[in-house]
Amino acid sequence: MSTLRFHAIKESLTNKPVLVEEKERRSDLFGKNVFNENTMRQYLTKDAFVGVMNAVQFGKKIDRNIADQVSSSMKDWALSKGVTHYTHWFQPLTGTTAEKHDAFFETIGNGMAVEKFGGSQLVQQEPDASSFPNGGIRNTFEARGYTAWDPTSPAFIYGTTLCIPTIFVAYTGEALDYKTPLLRALNAVDNAATDVCKYFDKNVKKVSSSLGWEQEYFLIDKVLAATRPDITLTGRTLLGHSSAKGQQLDDHYFGSIPNRALNFMRELETECMLLGIPVKTRHNEVAPNQFELAPIFEEANLAVDHNSLLMDIMGRVASRHNFKVLFHEKPFAGINGSGKHNNWSLSTDTGVNLLAPGKTPMSNLQFLTFFINTIKAVHENEELLRACIASASNDHRLGANEAPPAIISVFIGQQLTKVLEELEGVTKGKLSPEEKTELKLNVVGKIPDVLLDNTDRNRTSPFAFTGNKFEFRAVGSLANCGNPMTVLNTIVAKQLIDFKKEVDLLIEKKGLKKDEAVFNVLREYIKSTKAILFEGNGYGKEWEIEAEKRGLSNNKSTPEALRAKISKKSIALFEDMNVMSKVESQARYEIEMEAYIMHIQIESRVLGDIARNHIVPTAVKYQNILIENVKGLKEIFEDTYKTVSKEQINLIKEISSHIEGINANVTEMTNTRRKANTIEDVEEKALAYCYQVKPLFDDIRKHCDKLELLVDDEIWPLTKYRELLFTR
Ligand code: ADP
Ligand code: MG
């Protein structure tokens, strides 16, 4: 085994940057492999084009005749680009993407064949749902599920396959993927926000939610990563002593990108351009070998698809550059983990960003309305928001002494805090003309200026307002953004509906003018949501105590956090908003709890295996060398050998104590796991894994990492942190 590590190191040292040619301009490459509006105009009949656009913009159904025309044109386009297969591309609840390729090729008898792709194949397929997580939805006699075309996310070509983004549902209609509830949530927020917009602008017909994600990741030399069973099987290191140099010097962040990584990025970006993923920013992150990539924001459904697709492509491109890309939230102890900030906003079909201040007092009142309603939505649903970012891997980040914390709070900056303070003083009921003028001129009217010099850059808040959007920072780097985007858009939709009811009531029953009514309701919201606003540095004991006083939840682990998903309130919320039925909410809870248990279980098994079968034998081997040495010294020095071999003897003893520590803890971990496996109740079982099995990881690791410092480097089997993190 020890030789494998050195072979790998030797091989990794010969790696050179893989040559990448960028011949075409990015703007020319952009969307070349996408069946987008431009391509559709070329390939579709006018009827078919109008049909698809109506589906995209207004959710209108596409009839079979149009589907036939679209599929036929899609096929022609794909064949012209050398495509041989098609697939329904979807995002099951496994967290990765799924595809099953079928050839266009079909025989027609007499030894002849044609390329075929009909409307029915475009619109629907029937994969077996029983092999995907379904949380008990599938009953045994009806295992089928079906995928259905989502025309709002354009088909694309990857390699020689035409990929058609689809939803994935059980035969009984329940969602089995991330996209279905997301589309429903986007529809809910569209309706609710459009209604509220009508107070300010009657022309608004549609509101879309936008998402700009920022993907953090690590790039590790492929051969080195392959020597580590923990990285291979769990995506993170379960042990390994920290490197003498880590990120202390802060010399990686925004530093010049190492050449091998840069060439990987260039090829990745070319792939992204072809697929219409508008990547724009790339830079080194804080930790060694950690990087970030961000696109220009897009409509949320498309952005979610693009992030899932990107993660898939990154793995493939990385491999060509002899890298393994790690999306895990905490692949290495002691240095920064990775997240995926979700920048979120709402915008109208008239081109207005509802979370950006405008030029007139009225448009600023509209901004304030959406701004304050979002805060209110987060305040009312902070626990659910925490739940939607919970996973075994993200637990290492949230609340584990790394920003952001497990407590959800909202950061808005000093200037906007002041604006809210002023609004809080608005008179109850009708406003005097003077007060109205004052509000328009000096409070609402000043918002754009206020935001211009909004220099507050809080970096630790889990949910921060950043000038023209909210940034949900607690999302994990490994997550499918569909989950947080579903929850965020649903809670905002619900909040906007409640808001409209309250405003309408004041207008109808109290005879208030529209803007008076809006001011009145907003004032009450400002008063009632103070607990969620927090400007400070979000981690540490002090904030935990303060947050508890404020009544904010602090669910540190996934099993605790996920409970909020099946609370009466959450189930009712999802039902009311037509986003998920009770069965769907419960199924998702089950699936995520099961996934949590399985992740910890796998990690526990891998750790037990490495500790016992790799570390202990190595320690014994080294101990034997020491024993031989002591024996030799005894031969030479006879009676005085104890003095000359004192250090060796101490080392022998120390090694024994660590071996004992490992064995005792691995045995205890195995027994605890066995006991946990007999628990029927999923929550109880997950809690047992969380609070009984997982803590033993630390004890085992401590002994292994100590041994790493004691044992001869030459025989140490596991590639060390310094090698993994500093190989460029
Ligand atoms: P940072 O947060 O690193 O300072 P920026 O503020 O420039 O960076 O933007 C980060 C991300 O926010 C980018 O991916 C960008 O596309 C996205 N973004 C900008 N405006 C919006 C918006 N209105 N809606 C959603 N995302 C947005
Ligand atoms: Mg950011």
Closest C-alpha residue for ligand 1 atom 13? 212
* Position in ligand 1 atom list of the atom nearest CA 457: 4
Q: For residue 454, which ligand has an atom nearest its CA?
A: 1
Inform me whether the pLDDT recorded for 249 exceeds 80: no
pLDDT number for residue 2 = 53
pLDDT tier at 571, thresholds 50, 70, 90? very high
Q: Measured between alpha carbons, how far is 275 from 157 in angstroms, rounded to an integer?
A: 7
Tokens of 136: 């008990």
Percent of the chain with pLDDT over 90: 79
144: helix, strand or coil? strand
Inform me whether the pLDDT recorded for 401 exceeds 70: no
Cα 646 to ligand 2 centre (Å): 55
* Position in ligand 1 atom list of the atom nearest CA 467: 6
444: DSSP letter: G
- 283, 286, 297: residue to mutate for ligand 1 pocket, most atoms within 8 A of CB: 297
Inform me whether the pLDDT recorded for 3 exceeds 90: no
Cα 369 to ligand 2 centre (Å): 24
- 283, 301, 343: residue to mutate for ligand 1 pocket, most atoms within 8 A of CB: 343
Residue identified by tokens 């905490």 is 330
Pick from 329, 344, 373, 629: nearest CA to 502: 373
pLDDT tier at 95, thresholds 50, 70, 90? confident
What are φ and ψ of residue 486, in 5° steps?
-65, -50
* Position in ligand 1 atom list of the atom nearest CA 345: 24
Q: Measured between alpha carbons, how far is 281 from 552 in angstroms, rounded to an integer?
A: 35
pLDDT number for residue 609 = 98
pLDDT tier at 142, thresholds 50, 70, 90? low
CB under 6 Å to ligand 1: residues? Answer: 210-212, 214, 294-297, 343-345, 353, 466, 468-469
Tokens of 392: 């075994």
Inform me whether the pLDDT recorded for 19 exceeds 80: yes
Inform me whether the pLDDT recorded for 1 exceeds 50: no
Q: Which tens digit of pLDDT belongs to each residue from 334-350? A: 999 999 999 999 999 99
Cα 470 to ligand 2 centre (Å): 10
63: DSSP letter: P
Cα 264 to ligand 1 centre (Å): 23
Inform me whether the pLDDT recorded for 309 exceeds 80: yes
Q: For residue 303, which ligand has an atom nearest its CA?
A: 1
Q: For residues 584-599, give the mean pLDDT.
A: 96
Cα 466 to ligand 2 centre (Å): 9
Inform me whether the pLDDT recorded for 154 exceeds 60: yes
Inform me whether the pLDDT recorded for 538 exceeds 70: no
Q: For residues 606-613, give the mean pLDDT.
A: 98
pTM above threshold 0.85: yes
Cα 464 to ligand 2 centre (Å): 9
Q: Which tens digit of pLDDT belongs to each residue from 422-431? A: 999 999 999 9
Give the 3-state secondary structure of 522-537.
HHHHHHHCHHHECCCC
pLDDT number for residue 715 = 95
Cα 343 to ligand 2 centre (Å): 7
634: helix, strand or coil? helix
For 550, residues 6+ apart whose C-beta sits below 8 A from its C-beta are: 531
Inform me whether the pLDDT recorded for 253 exceeds 80: no
Inform me whether the pLDDT recorded for 518 exceeds 50: yes
Q: Measured between alpha carbons, how far is 165 from 145 in angstroms, rounded to an integer?
A: 16
The answer to whether the CB of 673 falls within 8 A of the CB of 614 is no
Inform me whether the pLDDT recorded for 491 exceeds 50: yes
Q: For residue 283, which ligand has an atom nearest its CA?
A: 1
Inform me whether the pLDDT recorded for 254 exceeds 60: yes
pLDDT number for residue 252 = 75
